[in-house]
Amino acid sequence: MVLSVSERTFKQEVLESPVPVLVNFGAPWCGLCRLIQPILLQFQSNCCDRIKLVAVNADDNFKLANTYRLTSLPTLILIENGKISQRLEGFDDKEDLRQALEAISVNYAPINNWQRRSA
């Protein structure tokens, strides 16, 4: 399950998080936002507690949308130690998103998984 975050809880849940946070900015009317949900849930299950996944409704959190200068939805922003580490937007299809998320998850894979991949 993805944690919904608002302007009120963003600082505590995202900026002050001890683990990196992948913020999914979307909106209920956004068809692509709904299409990527299964991919994000799979990403979350693969990364477990190494990366936190949260969702922000851009329509209901206008200040956050402006702060992070959203130009399209969905926009995914990886935040580490309160700072943007990576931004994913304008991906072409599900496979493009899968590859980008895989690249992120490799950086946070447990040592035993990394060793299995490189063997």
The domains found in the chain, sorted by start residue, are 3-91 (3.40.30.10)
Cα separation values, 95 from 10, 16, 40, 53, 100, Å:
29, 31, 12, 19, 9
Q: Model confidence over 39-78: pLDDT tens digits?
A: 999 999 888 779 999 999 999 999 999 999 999 999 999 9
Q: Please give the positions annotated as active site.
A: 30, 33
Instruction: Supply the pTM of this predicted model.
Output: 0.88
pLDDT band at residue 92 under the 50/70/90 scheme: confident
Residue 58 has what DSSP assignment? T
Q: Side chain identity at 42, as an amino acid letter?
A: Q
